[in-house]
Amino acid sequence: MIRTLDLAWRNIGRNRRRSVLSMVAVAVATMAIVFLFSYIEGMKQDMADNLIRYYTGEVRIRHENYGDWEHLSPLHLSVAELQDVLTGVETMPETAAAVPRLTVPGAVFREDQRIGMQVTGVDFLREIPFSGIDERVVQGSLNEITGGGDSDDRTTPALVGSRVMERLGLSSGDHFTVVVRTGLHGTNAMTFRAAAVADFPVASLNEVAVWVPLERVQHLARMPDQAGEVLVQLNRGSVRELGAAGATAEIATGAGAVGSEARPLEVSHWSTINTTYQFMEYAQQIYNFVALVFFLLAATVIVNTTMMVIFERRREIGTLSALGMSQGELVRLFFTESAILGFFGALAGLAAGVGISLVVGQVGMDFSAALEGIDMEISRVLYPRVNLRSSVGVFVFSFVVSAFTSYFPTRRITRIQPIEALRDE
């Protein structure tokens, strides 16, 4: 075994260019896959974070029939008796935080244009720890908004997405009037003042979001003590103890959605809600397949170089056979060579892939232009995240594939008679 390893090392060193080519092929494939998986991991983490902060929470409570008519934004299918529901949810030990939100579709009319908006009523004091909205403020301050209520000039202070400001041509402190549909199927309008500007990470949100104190939107939409949804963050300990489904069931009990006189509410854990994230989970299988294709392409390079090795070294092989090296020993020799090349190639690729992922993970990849107008819960700037398990998996897979690709051409050489090999020109 030691003799085989020595011989393999010596053979690798004898033709460095060929060896480097093989290693580079494995390294490039490994690097690409490690980076791809880091990118996907970053995208999934980002999407999960955005979903939980801005769309679904960890548990979402809404009217049980809302989903059937979601495309029509049925405001009347709301969470009624909001204060009771909130109190019930917040008293559950499974609840870490809960926020009510009431989003009404609306429009600003400018010249002959209708500019779509989304006015969301929120409880800012609850939102700050829940969604970290204060960290997204890039202009102005939430203080004026959390101060609440109408100001002297009959405008309502609002937190506005930075793209909303651009679309409406607003400066900080400017006002604009949004016409919305109400929960009574009518229309109403309210004038808002851009007291603070937020840079929401999700492009589609940043283009339409106008966040206003909940009670103002309840008044605007004629929906007192109602919200469109209540989002809940779960207590970590409860999730560990009960599991996500168990904790969600407890929240349903707290919301009064269980029992003979249950409120007509649907209580769902975010992982069960049909979102783009679920699509990402399916897409992961496709990416795994893409990774396999990458490896197979790299393997063809290794097979090719191994074949070249065989043809270039026929006389050597013949000599080794004539000197008494068995077929099995020859196979082991070439296999060991491939394994060494595969190991170091995969290691180099892993290091490069992780390195690039870490660097890009700090700098970020800006997809603002590409995501403009696209309704996905994904941030405009993505940060790849190295996943240790998948990275090690890619390394092992890369090493194994590259090592075993030498098997078939190596077997072929064992069939060459020493005399034929020695005669070879």
Partner 1 sequence: MKTKTTMRTALWIALTAAVTTPGWAQNVEDIVRRLEANRIHGTSRAESVMTVQDRFGSRESTMISYSRGQDESLIEFTSAAERGQKVLRTANEIYLFYPDAAELIRLQGAALRESMLGSDVSYEDLTGGRTLLDTYRVTLEGTERVNGRATWKVSFEARRRNVAYPRQTMWIDQEWYVALRAEQYALNGRLLKEMTADRVEQVEGLWIPMRMVISDVLKRDSSTTIEIRNIQVGLPLRDDLFSLEELSW
Q: Which residues bind partner 1 (CB under 8 A)?
A: 69, 74, 76, 107, 109, 111-114, 153-155, 175, 177, 179, 181-182, 184-191, 219-220, 222
Distances, alpha carbon 196 to alpha carbons 140, 166, 167, 218, in Å = 4, 14, 16, 21
| CA dihedral angle for residue 368, residue 372, residue 377, residue 379, rounded to 10 degrees | 10
Cα Rg, the chain, nearest whole Å: 31
- Closer residue to partner 1 (CB): 109 or 408: 109
| CA dihedral angle for residue 348, residue 351, residue 355, residue 356, rounded to 10 degrees | 50
- Closer residue to partner 1 (CB): 186 or 243: 186
Phi first, then psi: what are they for 305, rounded to 5°? -70, -35
What is the nearest approach in angstroms of partner 1 to the Cβ of residue 162? Answer: 23
Q: Judge whether 218 and 102 are in contact, CB under 8 Å.
A: yes
What is the nearest approach in angstroms of partner 1 to the Cβ of residue 117? Answer: 13
What is the nearest approach in angstroms of partner 1 to the Cβ of residue 102? Answer: 15
Length reported for the chain: 425
- Closer residue to partner 1 (CB): 107 or 347: 107
What is the nearest approach in angstroms of partner 1 to the Cβ of residue 149? Answer: 13
- Closer residue to partner 1 (CB): 102 or 234: 102
Q: Judge whether 228 and 57 are in contact, CB under 8 Å.
A: no
Burial class from Cβ neighbours inside 10 Å (0-12, 13-18, 19+) for residue 423 reads exposed
- Closer residue to partner 1 (CB): 134 or 215: 215
Encoded tokens for 306: 């191994």
What is the nearest approach in angstroms of partner 1 to the Cβ of residue 151? Answer: 10
What is the nearest approach in angstroms of partner 1 to the Cβ of residue 271? Answer: 31
What is the nearest approach in angstroms of partner 1 to the Cβ of residue 53? Answer: 29
Give residue 183's Cα distance to chain centre: 34
- Closer residue to partner 1 (CB): 220 or 251: 220
Q: Judge whether 137 and 159 are in contact, CB under 8 Å.
A: yes
- Closer residue to partner 1 (CB): 48 or 77: 77
What is the nearest approach in angstroms of partner 1 to the Cβ of residue 170? Answer: 14
What is the nearest approach in angstroms of partner 1 to the Cβ of residue 180? Answer: 10
Distances, alpha carbon 92 to alpha carbons 96, 209, 264, 272, 306, in Å = 9, 31, 19, 21, 65
- Closer residue to partner 1 (CB): 75 or 386: 75
β-pair type (209-213, 156-161): antiparallel
What is the nearest approach in angstroms of partner 1 to the Cβ of residue 111? Answer: 7
**CA-wise closest residue to 198 among 150, 235, 161:** 161
Number of H helices and number of E strands within the chain?
A: 16, 12
- Closer residue to partner 1 (CB): 9 or 69: 69
- Closer residue to partner 1 (CB): 153 or 425: 153
Q: How many CB atoms lie within 10 A of CB 88?
A: 21
The string of DSSP codes covering 323-354 is TT--HHHHHHHHHHHHHHHHHHHHHHHHHHHH
